[in-house]
Structure 1
C-alpha cells in the first residue's frame, strides 16, 4: 500500500470503474497502478471492477487484488453496460472510468477532481490520454461529424506540448473520464444499447445539451494500450457498431429541424461508405447490364462483411427506433442548448472522416443537396421582448430593446417582440422582424426562441417561462429599478394602493432575479444594488461564486448606449422653426419625459434668474406625453407647466413639446441645442438611476449640466463633460448654465472630452457582455440540474438537530421575542419549499 495519507477531508470520494472482459493481465496491471501509484487519499478512493462474464478464470484472479470491489456479471454487457453496472455499486460522488488496458499517472485523479471542485458547471473531465510509452497522443480533443461519428482529433501525433491547455470539448474518451456521480445517474449513465463505441460521445453530447461542460484537463494523464481491449473484435463488427451507434446518437440528440435534414443524408452516406469500403460495383444491377445468359443474373455475388456493416447497421438502427424514440423525447425535453451552440465543439462538423474516392464524392453531393453547411452553421434564434410599443415614437425600454435586437442580429436570427398594441405609428425599418402580439400570443414567440431577452413585466406574461424548472435560456434586463421609481411615482396615489403596487413591482423584479440565467443592469452602482437582491434571494450560492468569483457571468453591466454613427440633420427642429426661438438663441434641452423623480422646478427657478441677464436663454422640454399610453402623466408635469406660467417663462424662455418626438428625428432637436440638462431630487431612486437622456447629450456633443447624486454625475465630474450642481440649488444651477452656454472656451473643452468618452458608450460597446453571452448561452450555474455538492456534510443525529434548533429559538427570543421567532420560522419554511422545488427540478 502506498503512503498516501487520509488527510483529504474536503476531497470527494472517487469511485474508479474498470471493466474487464477476458483481459485479466491488463486489468491486473491497471488495478495495481490504481492501488499503488495514485496521489489521492486511500480512504477517498473506491475501486470497482466489473468482470463482464469472462468465463476464463478472470474473476478469481481479480478478486485476489486488495482494495478492489469486484462485481460479476453473468453475461458480457459491453463497456457501456459494464460501466453502468459498476456505477450502481459505486460509493463516490465522482465516477472515474478507466479502460482496463490503461494506467493512470500519479495525479490523474487529484487534478481532475480539482477541476470539478473549482468549476461547478463542469459535469465531466476528459483526461489527456497518451500511448503506453507517453510519446504519442491518444486523446486530447474531440470532434463530431454531421452524421454522428465522433473521433479523436490529433490521435497519433507526437505529444509535443501543443495540447497542454485546458479547453471545453464535446466529449471525453471513456478510456479515462471523470463524471459527477449524481449527474451520471440522472442521465441514465451510458446508453446500454451502444454496447461499445460512441457511448462516451453520446454521454458528452447529452451533457452539453443540458448545459453542462465537458472539460479537457491536460494535467490529468492516463496511458493507454490503444485497442488492446479490441484484439478479439473483427474490423467488420467494429464498423457495424460504429455505423449503428453513430445513427443512434444522431437520432437521439439533434433537434427536430436538424434531424429532418441530417438523418436522410446520414443514412444514404452510411450505405455509400459500406459499398466504397467493400469495393462493391454499384452498377452491377443496372438494367442495361443484364448478362446474355439469364441464369447468370440469378447467381450470387460475394460481399465482404465490411461492406455489409453499414447496411446491417441501418437495419438494426431501425430495430432500435421504438426505444430510441423514448430516449429522444427525454433528451429533447431536457436540452437547454441548441445544435448551433454545439457546432464549435464539433470542431469540423463537415469532416468526411474516410478517404475513399467514391465515398468523398457522395459526401460532397449530400452536403450540397441537403444544404448541410447551412444546417450546421444555422443562426441562434433570439427573441427580444419589451412591454413598450415599437413605433416611430419610442421611449427608453423600447429604444433599448431595439438596439439589442439590432446588435444581436449581426450574428443571430433575431425577433423584436412588443406586447403593446396601443402605440402610435409604425416601426422603423430594420434588419430584423418586429412583431406586435397580445400577451396570449407571446408564448408562441417564446417557444420559437433559443434565448429570450426580456424586461419589465414580460416574465409575468409567460408562466411557463417563469417556472424555475424551465429549460429555456432567459436574459433578464433589470436596468430600470422600477420599485425605486415607484416610491416617487406612487406619491400621487393613496397609501394602501402605494404599498400594494410597490409589493407587486418588487415581486416582479424578484421573479426575474430568481429566474434569469443572465441578468443585465445599467451601472456599477446598480450592480452593487442588484447583488444585494440576489444575495437575499439565495442566488449567490457557492456554485455561482466558485464558477465565477466576480459573478459577472450572472450579473453584468450593460448601460444604455448611443449610436456609433454621429447625428446628422434630417430636417428643421427648433432654431428659426419653433415660434419664440431664434436662430442665435442659447438653447438648453431637456431630452425626455417629466417624471416625479426629476426636479424641473428648481431648473425653472434657475432659468428665471438667469434670464434677467441673458435674454436669449431658451429651455425646451422635448417630450411631455409618454409614447406608451399605459404610462400616465405624473403630477410633476402639471406642476412644471403651472410654475413656468406663474414665473412668466412659458413661450418666452421655456417651451413645451406636449407630444413625443419621433426617435428618428430627435437628433435634429439635439443638434439645435447648446447644452443638455437633467435635474433630480436627492433620494434613493437617484442613487441607482441611469439617466439615459444624458447619452443623447453625449451623442450630440452637448455639454451636460446635471444634479449630483447619480452615476452620470460622477462621469460628468470625473471626465469634465460639463458641470455638476447640488440638488435644490437654483443659484448654482443658474451659474452652471451660464458657464456652459456663454463661456465658449469652457464649452469647447467639454466637447473635446465628450468626443473621447462617447466611444465607450456606443451600443456595440455597451452590449458586448450580452453579445458574448449569446454566442455561448448556458443556464446559470445554480440552475443546472443535478448539481449537488461533491462533498456533503454528514447528516445530524436527531439529538444534535434538536439542540441546534433550541439554541436558535433562545437567540431569536432574546433578539426580538415571539415575533422574531415567528418571522424566522416563516423564512425557514420558505427556504425548505424553495430547496424542494429546486431539488425536484434537478431530479
Structure 2
C-alpha cells in the first residue's frame, strides 16, 4: 500500500503557485508561509514564484528574507496583476499554474483538489477555487455571472456560507484570487490580457477558454480565504470604476460574435454613459437649448470623479481599439462555441447590476431598442445533413435525419439539408432544403453544430481540416463497409476491393474528425469503440474522465413516433386483389437487399400455405425511394423463387413502389405479424433492422432470424419468436405460432407496450439532445491538450537526475556508441512530437 501511494505521489504534476505583490509585503509573507507549511501536496512538486511589481518600499527585501525558498521576480515597473502573473508564468516550470492573491491563504487541500479535477477531466482547462472571506464565514467567490454589457461579477458574494455552494459545476470564469490553469493552455492563450492591468482579466480569460471549447470548473474542495480588496487599499473608487468600465467594454468587444457585437456594443457604450451620469448625479438636461438664460453661462461645471470615470473609460477603450481589433480577430478565428452556448454560464445576462433609477430606465430602453433579449436568447443553429431523398417516400437514413431535425427543432433553429436532388418533404415546422455539393458549404457555415451521415463529410473538405472549429456529430448507425461486403458480391473482385477501401476511408475520416458519435445499438458501440481505439481517439485522458466513453460515442437507436398509429385509409386487407379481410398477413416492412434472406421466408410460407390457405406474405417496398440506390440482385431472385413456387399473387404479394412514410401505418395495421429474415454473417451481427421498430409501433408480434441486436430484444422481452438462419421449417413453425396461437399473439402484444415506450424518437435521441444543449469539441480535439505528464518538465532537478541515470545506464550497456544511438533516437522522437503538435 505504501509503495502504491508513493507511485501516485510521484505521478502528480508540478504546480507553480504565482503571487503578485505591490506594497503589501506583510500580506504576501503570511500567504507564502501558509503555502510552505499548510498544504497537503508534495513539497518537491510545488514551485512558488512571487513577483514584486516595483513596490519601491522595501517589499522585495522583506519577502526575500522571510521566504528564501521562494523564487522572487522583481519587475522593472508596476505591471498590474495581469502583467505580473504573465511574467511569473513565463518563468514557471510547472504543468499547472496556481494563481493566488497575495492577500489570500490556501486551505490544506487547495492544490490537491484542483489537480484531481485537472487530471480527471481532460476538457477542464481551469479550476475555479471556492473563496471565502478571511474568517471563512462569508462567500467571496462561488460562481461567476456576466452581464450583456460585459461586466463580470461574483454571484452570492457577501452571503453567509451555508453549504449550499458545495457542489462542483461549470462556470464562465473563476476569480484570479484563487485559480488553477493548465500551463500549456495559459501560454497558448497568451495568458492574461495585460491591457486590463487589473479587474476582469480573469473574466476575459475564462470567457476565452470557454469559447475555445475548454471548461472552467468550480471545485469547492479547492478552498482559499481572501482579505477582499486588500490589494486595492489606497486606490480611489473612481479609479476602480474607470478600470471596470473600460475593461468590460474591452472584454465584450474581444469575445462576442459579429452578430452580437453589432447590437451589444453600442448599447453597452450608451449604458456606460448613463451609468456615469447617474452615479455622479449630473443634470443631463443642463445643456438643453430650451434652458438658456438671458446670457449664455460658460462657467465651468464640476463633474464628480465617479462620473468622469465612465466617460474616460469609453475614451480609453477607443484608444485601445486598434490593438483590441487584432485580439478580437484572433479570438473569433479560434472560437468553437457560440454566444448562445455561453448564455447559461452567464447566469443572468440581462441583470442591470446597478440600482440607480435613471440608469435602470436607460437599461430597459436600450434592451428593447436593440432587441437584446433576442440576441442573448438566440437559439442554437443546427444543420442535419443527409445524402438521402427527403420526400413523402423516405428510406431509413432520411427518416432518421428527419426525426433528428424534428426533435432538435423543439429547442433550436434546425435546417434539414439533403444533398440528393429529390427533396419534396411533408409539411413540417423546420426548414428542409436541397443543396448541391457547392452549396453545402454555406449551410455548414450557417450552423453552430453539424449532424451528418454517410458520405457527407467528403463533400465539405473544410470540415475535415485539422483547424476546423465547427462542432461535428457523426451518425454512424449504418456500418457501410459491412453492408458493402454483402452488397458488392455481384461485382468483380477488383471493383469490390476498391469500393470497400473507399467506404472504409470515408468512415475513418468521420471517426477521426467527429466531436460526438451516434450508433444504433450496444453491439455497434463495441464495434465502433474498436475503430476509435485503432485511430487513437481513446486517449488516457478521455478514459480517466469518462471510463464509459459515452461522452464521445453514445447509443441512439432508430426510433418510432410517440403517438400510436392511426389509420388514414385502406391498405392491404380487402383492398389488394387476392387478400381478403379475414386473411392472415405476414408483413415484410422494407426493401429487399442482398444481406436479407427472403428466399428462406418464401419457402417457409410455401410450406405453411399447405396447412393454412389464408396466409399471405406482403412485401411492402421493392423499389428504393432514392433513385441513386439500384435494385439489388436479391430482389430479382425473390420474384423468381415466388414464381417457381407458385406463390406470386396467391400467397406472396409485391408492392413494386415504396409506401409514403405518412401512410405506412395503414399497412402495418392490416398485418398480423412482422417478419425479418437474414443470413448469418458479420453485417447481421452489427446491423439494426429499422423495420422491426415499425412492428413494435403497431403492436405486431415479431418473427426474426437470430444473430442481430433485435433478435436479442425479441427473445429477451418475449415479443415474438427467434429462429435460426436459413431454416424454413423453423421459420414456418414460428409464423404459425404468432398467426394462429391467439393467446401467444395476445401476450406478445401486451409485452410490446412498455418496450415501445423506450424507442420513441424523443427517448432514443436524448443523448443527441443533451449534447446539443452543451456542445463542445471532443477532448482530444482541443488545442493545447498535452496531458499532465508524469515526466517532469525540462529544467527541473528531477529531470536532470533522471537524464544522468539514463546516461550511466547507456554507458554501461554499450559505451559512447550506445549513448549516441539513444540520443539520436530521442531527437527524432521529439521532432516528431513537435510536428504532430503543429
Q: TM-score, normalised by structure 2?
A: 0.94
**Shift, 1:792, TM fit:** 4.0
- Name stretches of at least 5 consecutive residues in structure 1 with no aligned partner: 808-827
Deviation per CA, 1:421-463: give whole Å up to 9, x if none: 0x3x621111100010001111110011110000100011111
**Shift, 1:366, TM fit:** 1.0
Moved more, 411-420 or 162-171: 162-171
Contact in 1 for aligned 2:82/2:193 (Cα 8 Å): yes
**Shift, 1:386, TM fit:** 0.3
Distance 1:513 1:713 in 2: 28
**Shift, 1:776, TM fit:** 0.3
| 3-state secondary structure, aligned to 2:635 | helix
Q: Is 1:198 paired with 2:189?
A: no
**Gap change, CA 1:433 and 1:629, over 3 Å in 2:** same
Q: Is 1:249 paired with 2:251?
A: yes
2:533 match? 535
| 3-state secondary structure, aligned to 1:693 | helix
**Shift, 1:63, TM fit:** 2.0
Contact in 2 for aligned 1:190/1:199 (Cα 8 Å): yes
Contact in 2 for aligned 1:621/1:656 (Cα 8 Å): yes
Aligned with residue 84 of structure 2, among 77, 82, 85:
82
Deviation per CA, 1:524-582: give whole Å up to 9, x if none: 01101111111111111111112211100100000000000111111111112211111
**Shift, 1:239, TM fit:** 0.4
Contact in 2 for aligned 1:469/1:838 (Cα 8 Å): no
Q: How many residues align?
A: 811
| 3-state secondary structure, aligned to 2:494 | helix
Query: What are the residue-to-residue correspondences of 1:620-639 with 2, within 5 Å?
Result: 620-639=618-637
Contact in 1 for aligned 2:121/2:542 (Cα 8 Å): no
Distance 2:336 2:206 in 1: 14
1:153 match? 155
2:216 match? 214
Contact in 2 for aligned 1:144/1:151 (Cα 8 Å): yes
Query: What are the residue-to-residue correspondences of 1:69-108 with 2, within 5 Å?
Result: 69-108=71-110
Query: What are the residue-to-residue correspondences of 1:165-184 with 2, within 5 Å?
Result: 165-184=167-186
**Shift, 1:831, TM fit:** 11
Contact in 1 for aligned 2:128/2:218 (Cα 8 Å): yes
Distance 2:729 2:508 in 1: 41
| 3-state secondary structure, aligned to 1:659 | coil
**Shift, 1:696, TM fit:** 0.5
1:811 match? none
Q: Is 1:283 paired with 2:281?
A: no
Distance 2:416 2:44 in 1: 57
Q: Is 1:479 paired with 2:481?
A: no
1:57 match? 58
2:772 match? 774
Moved more, 698-707 or 368-377: 368-377
Distance 1:583 1:801 in 2: 89
Query: What are the residue-to-residue correspondences of 1:287-298 with 2, within 5 Å?
Result: 287-294=289-296, 296=297, 298=298
**Gap change, CA 1:69 and 1:406, over 3 Å in 2:** same
2:346 match? 346
Q: Is 1:730 paired with 2:728?
A: yes
**Shift, 1:799, TM fit:** 12
Contact in 1 for aligned 2:12/2:790 (Cα 8 Å): no
**Gap change, CA 1:478 and 1:570, over 3 Å in 2:** same
**Gap change, CA 1:6 and 1:442, over 3 Å in 2:** closer
Contact in 1 for aligned 2:83/2:192 (Cα 8 Å): yes
| 3-state secondary structure, aligned to 2:726 | coil
Contact in 1 for aligned 2:193/2:201 (Cα 8 Å): yes
| 3-state secondary structure, aligned to 1:484 | helix
1:37 match? 38
Contact in 2 for aligned 1:5/1:41 (Cα 8 Å): no
Deviation per CA, 1:355-379: give whole Å up to 9, x if none: 1111011111111121111111110
Distance 2:779 2:203 in 1: 23
Query: What are the residue-to-residue correspondences of 1:562-641 with 2, within 5 Å?
Result: 562-641=560-639
| 3-state secondary structure, aligned to 2:180 | strand
| 3-state secondary structure, aligned to 1:8 | helix
Distance 2:158 2:744 in 1: 69
Moved more, 529-538 or 398-407: 529-538
Q: TM-score, normalised by structure 1?
A: 0.94
Deviation per CA, 1:26-53: give whole Å up to 9, x if none: 1111112112222211111111111111
2:355 match? 355
- Name stretches of at least 5 consecutive residues in structure 2 with no aligned partner: 793-798, 814-825
1:818 match? none
Contact in 1 for aligned 2:145/2:348 (Cα 8 Å): yes
Q: Is 1:410 paired with 2:434?
A: no
Distance 1:724 1:112 in 2: 53
Query: What are the residue-to-residue correspondences of 1:447-462 with 2, within 5 Å?
Result: 447-462=445-460
Distance 1:248 1:113 in 2: 31
1:324 match? 324
**Shift, 1:125, TM fit:** 0.7
| 3-state secondary structure, aligned to 1:158 | coil
Deviation per CA, 1:443-495: give whole Å up to 9, x if none: 11001111000010001111111123311110000000111111101101000
1:561 match? 559
1:822 match? none
| 3-state secondary structure, aligned to 1:172 | coil
Distance 1:599 1:693 in 2: 14
Deviation per CA, 1:310-329: give whole Å up to 9, x if none: 11111111111111111011
**Gap change, CA 1:414 and 1:150, over 3 Å in 2:** same
Contact in 2 for aligned 1:547/1:781 (Cα 8 Å): no
Contact in 2 for aligned 1:170/1:214 (Cα 8 Å): yes
Distance 1:42 1:454 in 2: 50
Moved more, 366-375 or 496-505: 366-375
**Shift, 1:835, TM fit:** 6.0
